[in-house]
A and B are shown apart, each in its own frame.
Chain A
Amino acid sequence: MVKEVRWRYVIFHVHSPLSLASEDLRAALRRHMKAFLGTYGLSRNPFKLMDYDEENKLGILKCAHESLEVIRAALALLSAINGEPSAIHVMKVSGTYKKAKSRAARLAEKLKSYWTELEAGMKKPSQATEA
């Protein structure tokens, strides 16, 4: 039988100077998506935050296969979280949650070294010296 909805699991990276808790991110995403898509848009393009690794700032978001590009555009248009300039970058898209989790774990390792340098660069000089 053909599935009515094919789900996609979007692995994303939060680019923000803030250390966000899972609940903060969930609330920020809900607020942004509601503002961008509206009630009608959300009913057509449902999404759910499945997992968020606060240490590596990597998360997994579930959405319908047909909504993938809309969700990607909506995430790209997010420019601030809790008033701080931030961005969400989609790293990979997977068809199963299991595979998304294993890919996210591999990405976390890869990002650890590379991202530290980029994140240090985006901090204000005062923040950089404090760190």
Chain B
Amino acid sequence: MPKRRYVDLHVRVTNEGDAPELLIKMAKHLGFSLIALSLDDPYKLRDLKDIKDRARALGVDVAIRADLRPSSPSELKEHLRKLRRSVEVIGVYCRDTSVARIAARDRRVDVTFYDPENVLSVLDEGQLSLLAESGHYVEVNFVDFLHTTPDKQAKTLWSYGLALKRVARRGIPVAVSSGASKIVDMRAPRELYAIALFLLDEREIAREAVSTKPMELVRLNREKLSPNFVQPGVRVVDEW
């Protein structure tokens, strides 16, 4: 049986956080095969492209991710139009229902993630139906549970637990990532799995949420970005 490969789909490169090289070294130390790095400003992503080669030398595959935090649906569409062909993963932070609905409908979006304060109200039945149709991933960021009071942590765990059980019932793929910008906030794959199990109560879905599901997303998106891609299932094999 092949060895399971683990993925952290959300590692943030910020001004206040640690350097990307350090984040990659920590990911290697923790046992990840692939991490997706995102920048606060998605238009500076070119800076991250040199890091990919250096990361490969360390034995970690790096995917470039854009995190969009739009305040309106029109802003989201504009970002998507500009960025889709240049990044491997697009995540949308759904702070309110209007943005969440557009993100769930749009095929260019890969991952949606939510504010832990209002995850239950945004991730309602309407949103779940749209996500089930589009197949977008719902992401839980581990950092949402850190650096908070026990009361708030308990509330966040409860809200996410309820929301993720709804998500899993609908067959919507789930990804559990660290969402960290500092190495001290990064967690090992088995720790992310433990939290996923805590929230979902389903061993297989929890295991897939940190390994096969995010890996499959990156593989598919890389295939789509390759020049030989025509449409899902169709690619150019030879030219004459």
A residues within 8 Å of B by Cβ? 15, 35-36, 69-70, 72-73, 75-77, 79-80, 85-87, 89-90, 114-115, 117-118, 121-122
A-B contact pairs, 25 of them (CB 8 A): A15-B184, A35-B150, A69-B194, A72-B194, A73-B191, A73-B194, A73-B198, A76-B191, A76-B195, A79-B185, A85-B147, A85-B182, A85-B184, A85-B185, A86-B184, A87-B185, A87-B187, A89-B30, A90-B190, A118-B22, A118-B29, A121-B25, A121-B183, A122-B18, A122-B182
- Is residue B93 contacting chain A, with contact meaning CB distance below 8 A? no
Q: Give the distance to chain A from B142, nearest Cβ to Cβ, in Å.
A: 8
Q: Which chain B residues border A73 with CB–CB below 8 Å?
A: 191, 194-195, 197-198
Known: A36-B150, A85-B182. A90 touches B191 (CB 8 A): yes
Known: A36-B150, A73-B197, A77-B146. A122 touches B190 (CB 8 A): no
Fill in one digit per residue for B168-209: 1 if any A CB lies within 8 Å of its CB, else 0: 000000000000001111111011101101100000000000
- In the bound complex, what is the Cα–Cα distance between A69 and B197 (angstroms)? 8
The 8 closest A-B pairs by CB, nearest first: A76-B191, A79-B146, A73-B194, A72-B194, A121-B22, A35-B150, A73-B198, A69-B194
- In the bound complex, what is the Cα–Cα distance between A51 and B145 (angstroms)? 28
Q: Which chain B residues border A75 with CB–CB below 8 Å?
A: 191
B residues within 8 Å of A by Cβ? 18-19, 22, 25-26, 29-30, 142, 145-147, 150, 153, 182-188, 190-192, 194-195, 197-198
Are A72's CB and B190's CB within 8 A?
yes
Q: Give the distance to chain A from B10, nearest Cβ to Cβ, in Å.
A: 16
Task: Find the residue from B18, B26, B147, B194 having the highest chain A CB count within 10 A.
Answer: B194
Nearest A residue to B19, CB-CB: A121
Known: A79-B146, A89-B30. A70 touches B198 (CB 8 A): yes
Q: Which chain A residues border B22 with CB–CB below 8 Å?
A: 118, 121-122
Nearest A residue to B206, CB-CB: A69
Partner of B183, one of A69, A79, A118: A118
Q: Which chain A residues border B194 with CB–CB below 8 Å?
A: 69-70, 72-73, 76
Known: A69-B194, A73-B197. A89 touches B188 (CB 8 A): yes
- In the bound complex, what is the Cα–Cα distance between A76 and B30 (angstroms)? 13
Are B150's CB and A87's CB within 8 A?
no
Q: Which chain B residues border A85 with CB–CB below 8 Å?
A: 147, 182, 184-185
Nearest A residue to B142, CB-CB: A76
- In the bound complex, what is the Cα–Cα distance between A70 and B198 (angstroms)? 7
Q: Which chain B residues border A77 with CB–CB below 8 Å?
A: 145-146, 153, 195
- In the bound complex, what is the Cα–Cα distance between A76 and B142 (angstroms)? 9
Are A90's CB and B188's CB within 8 A?
yes
- In the bound complex, what is the Cα–Cα distance between A77 and B145 (angstroms)? 7
- In the bound complex, what is the Cα–Cα distance between A35 and B151 (angstroms)? 9
Partner of B191, one of A36, A72, A115, A118: A72
Are B18's CB and A121's CB within 8 A?
yes
Partner of B184, one of A36, A115, A122: A122
Nearest A residue to B187, CB-CB: A76
Known: A76-B195, A79-B147. A118 touches B26 (CB 8 A): yes
Q: Which chain A residues border B192 with CB–CB below 8 Å?
A: 76
- In the bound complex, what is the Cα–Cα distance between A80 and B147 (angstroms)? 7
Q: Give the distance to chain B from A47, nearest Cβ to Cβ, in Å.
A: 14
Apart from A73-B194, A121-B25, A122-B18, what 4 extra A-B contacts exist at CB < 8 Å? A69-B194, A76-B188, A77-B146, A87-B186
